[in-house]
Structure 1
Amino acid sequence: MTTALVTGVGGFVGVNLADSLLDDGIEVRGIDNFATGRRRNLRPLRDSSNFSFTEGSIGDSDLLGELMNGVDYVFHQAAVPSVPRSIEDPMTTTDANCTGTATVLDAARAADVDTVVVASSSSVYGSTETLPKVETMTPSPESPYALSKYYTERLALQFDELYDLDTVALRYFNIFGPRQDPNGEYAAVIPKFVDLMLSGDAPVVYGDGEQSRDFTYIDNAVEANRLAATSDVSGEAFNVGCGGRVTINELVDALNNILGTDIEPEYDDLRPGDVKHSHADISKAREHLGYEPVVEFTDGLERTVSYYRG
C-alpha cells in the first residue's frame, strides 16, 4: 500500500489533502502540533483505519525519522501562515517555516522517501507590476512570511540537486474552501468575509478594494499536490492557481449575490507587506504536471458558503 506523510495535517490544506488520499485507499500518517491547525479537523479522518496521527513538532528530528519509515510521499504543509503575523513575530515564522522545513527534508533524505512536495506561496513574487506571475520571474519577497516560503522552496529544490531526493515546490495562490478557519486576527479573507456576512456584519477591506487575487479553490491545491507527487518532475517550482484574478470589491459583490444580501464593506488602511495584485500563469504546471483547475472561482465560492452555512 502507498503511504504518505502529511505535515500540518490539522491545517486547512493538510486535512483536505489527507481526506483525498484516504478516499483513494492510501495510508496516511499525519503530524501537527496545533500551533495553527485545529483538532476538530481531524475528526472525520479518524474514522479511517488507514489514518494515524501523531501530535508533535516538525522540529523533532527523531520523531520525524520514526514517522517517515516506509513512507513513499511527504506532503509538507506545516507552517506558520499569514503576512501580518510574520511582520509582528518574524522569529516564530522563521523558525517554523525555515528550520522546520530543513528538518522535514533531512528526515526524508535519511528515510529514502520517494518524493517530497512542499507548500510555497505566491507571496514570493512580491509586488511586481508584471501579470500574470510566471515562475521565471525573479522573486522579491516583501515580508518574513514570503521570505520563509522562498527559503522553503529553494531548500527543497537544493535537496534535489545535492541528495538526489525528488522534490517539488508548489506556489499556492490564495487557497480557500471548507475547513478554513474564519476566526482570529490572521484569518484568510474569504472565510472571514463569509463568516461576517452570514451574520449580517460588514467585512473590513484594507485599502481601496481594487487589489486583486487569484483565488484558488482547495480541490485545485489538492490535485496539484497529488500530481506533483506522482509525476516524473523533480527540482521544480510551480504556480498553483486558476489563472485569473478577482478584486476584493468583486469578492464582496459575489458574496452578496450568493447570500442574497446587500452589505457594504468598511475600508481601512492598507497593511504592510500585502501585495497589490496576484495572478498566476499556470502554463508550466499544465505542461509538466498535467494540472488543470478542477473547480473555478464562482463554483468554489458557492461551495464554501454552503459549508459555512452548514
Structure 2
Amino acid sequence: MKNKKVAVTGGLGFIGSHLVERLCQDNEVVIVDNETTGSIKNIKHLEFDKISLDLGDITEIDLVNSFEGCDYVFHHAAMASVPASVADPIKCNLINITGTLNVLLAARDCGVRKVVFASSAAVYGDNTNLPLSEKTLLKPVSPYALSKAVGEMYCQLFTDIYKLSTISLRYFNVFGPRQDPNSQYASVIPHFISSILNGERPVIFGDGEQSRDFIYVKHIVEANLRACQSNHTGAYNIATGKKTTINQLVPVINQTLGEDMDPIYDEPRPGDVKHSLADISKSELLNFKPSINFPDELSETVHWFVENQEFKE
C-alpha cells in the first residue's frame, strides 16, 4: 500500500504501533490514542513527518475530524483485558462497543473505503471443537469477548446497511517486541521473558501441556494490509494453524538468554482454556498464509526485551 491516508485507532499500543511502523513508510498515518495502555515510546524510533497524533478517547474525540480524507481505518483501540472487563463491564461496553460504533459512524460519514476491525479468538470462548473455524459457534465467556463479538456484528451491519466495507480479524495469541509483560492480557511469552531476565523462575499454571496458536506480530501487520486491500468482508481467523505447548516455550527462552531457569508449576487457573488452535483455511482468501519460523521469532522477541529492558519501567 502506498500514497494513502490511513487512521489507526490504538496506534500507540503493542499491535497498533507495529502497524503504524509499517504504514508510515509509504503512507500518511493518523494515530488516535488516549495513552491508557499505549505509549509514545512505541513509536519514538519512527520519522514523524508522515505521522499525526490525535490524543483522545474514541468515545469522546471528534473522529470525523480524525478520519477526514482517510482511505482506510484500522480499529485497534479497545479495553483489551478480560479481567478488567469482568471488573467493569460497563466501561468495557462503553469503550469496545460504543467506541466501535463511533468509529464506524465516523468512517461512514467520511467516505472511508474500508474499516479493518481487530477482533479476537476470545469470541470462541471455551469451545473445544478444534481447530476453530469461522463457522464455529461463538461462546463468549467474558464482557471483553462479548464486546468483540458485538463489534464484529456492528461491522457486518454497517456493510449490509450503509455499504461501508468492513472486515474483522480474529487474532489468536499474538506475541512480539513491545508487548507489555505487565499487561493483564499479555501473552505468556513476555511474562516468561520478563521473569527470566529478572532472575525469577517462570510460573506455569497447570502441567504446561496446554497449547496455544501463537502468531508473531509482524504476521498480524501483514494480515491487516492484505485484509484492507482485499474485496472480502466478514470475519477471518488470523493465526498460524499450528499449536505450541507452554512447556516448549521455556527452553527456547532459556537458550536465547543463556540461562537454565526451571519453571515453577502451580495450580491451573479457573477458566483457562486447555487448547486453542485455529483453522486458517478461510484466511487464504486474503492471500494470507504466514511463513512461520516460531523459534526464530521467539528468539527475536527475547533479544528485543534484552535490548530494551528499560521499556518495562
Q: TM-score range with shorter-chain normalisation?
A: over 0.9
What letter matches 2:15 in structure 1?
A: V
Query: Structure 1 residue 301 and structure 2 residue 302: aligned?
Result: no
Secondary structure of the structure 2 residue equivalent to 1:216: strand
| Partner residue in 2 for 1:93 | 92
- Would the aligned equivalents of 2:169 and 2:236 in 1 still touch at CA under 8 Å? yes
Distance 1:148 1:271, change over 3 A: farther
Q: Structure 1 residue 107 and structure 2 residue 118: aligned?
A: no
Q: Is the 8 A contact 2:10 2:33 kept in 1?
A: yes
**Is 1:239 the counterpart of 2:242 in the alignment?**
no
| Distance (whole Å) between structure 1 residues aligned to residue 200 and residue 183 of structure 2 | 16
Q: Secondary structure at the match of 1:49?
A: helix
Does 1:83 find its partner at 2:85?
no
**Map of 2:19 onto structure 1:** 17
| CA displacement 1:192-248 (0-9 Å, x = unmatched) | 2111112221122223222211010001100000000001112x1101011101111
What is the 5 A alignment of 1:78-227?
A: 78-227=77-226
In structure 2, relative to structure 1, the CA distance for the partners of 1:142 and 1:95 (3 Å cut) is: same
Deviations 1:89-109 (A, max 9, x none): 322222211111111011111
Check conservation: 2:81, 2:184, Cα contact below 8 A: no
Q: Is contact 1:219-1:294 (8 Å) kept?
A: no
Q: Structure 1-normalised TM-score?
A: 0.94
- Tell me, which stretches of 5 or more residues in structure 1 are unaligned? none
Contact 1:6 1:77 in 2 (8 A): yes
Q: Residues 127-171 of structure 1, C-alpha deviation per residue, up to 9 Å, x if partnerless? A: 222211111111111111111111111211111111100000000
Q: 2:263 aligns with which of 239, 262, 265?
A: 265
User: Aligned partners of 2:276, 2:44: CA distance in 1, in Å?
Assistant: 34
- State the number of aligned residues: 305
Q: Identify the residue that residue 56 of structure 1 maps to in structure 2.
A: 56
CA distance in 1, matches of 2:254, 2:55: 40
Q: Structure 2 CA distance, aligned partners of 1:162 and 1:142? A: 29
- The 1:26/1:131 distance shift into structure 2, 3 A limit, reads same
- 158-167 vs 180-189, greater mean Cα deviation: 180-189
Tell whether the 8 Å contact from 2:125 to 2:138 is kept in structure 1 after alignment: yes
Counterpart residue type for residue 293 of structure 1: P
Offset at residue 295 of structure 1 (A): 4.1
2:311 corresponds to: none
Q: TM-score, normalised by structure 2?
A: 0.93
CA offsets, 1:37-65, max 9 Å, x none? Answer: 122113123x231111111011125x101
Q: Is the 8 A contact 2:212 2:244 kept in 1?
A: yes
SS in 1 for 2:253: helix
Q: Show structure 2 runs of 5+ residues with no match.
A: 308-313
Q: Is structure 2 residue 275 aligned with structure 1 residue 277?
A: yes
Pairwise CA distance, 1:270: 3.2
Amino acid at match of 1:157: Q
Alpha-carbon distance in structure 1 between the residues aligned to 2:167 and 2:198: 40
Q: Is the 8 A contact 2:213 2:276 kept in 1?
A: yes
Structure 1 window deviating more from structure 2 (68-77 vs 140-149): it is 140-149
- Fraction of identical pairs, as percent: 47
- Higher mean C-alpha displacement, 96-105 vs 185-194: 185-194
CA 1:266–1:91 in structure 2 vs 1: closer, same or farther (change >3 Å)?
A: farther
Asked if 1:290 corresponds to 2:287, the answer is: yes
Bigger mean CA offset, 82-91 vs 93-102:
82-91
Aligned-partner residue type, residue 259 of structure 1: L
Other structure's SS at 2:181 match:
coil
Q: 1:186 to 1:282 in 2, by over 3 A?
A: closer
Give distance in 1, aligned partners of 2:13 and 2:48. 18
Structure 2 CA distance, aligned partners of 1:265 and 1:233?
Answer: 44
2:5 counterpart residue number: 3
Tell me the SS of whatever aligns to 1:200: coil
2:21–2:43 Cα contact (<8 Å) kept: no
User: Deviations 1:241-262 (Å, cap 9, x if unpaired)?
Assistant: 1110111112223222332322
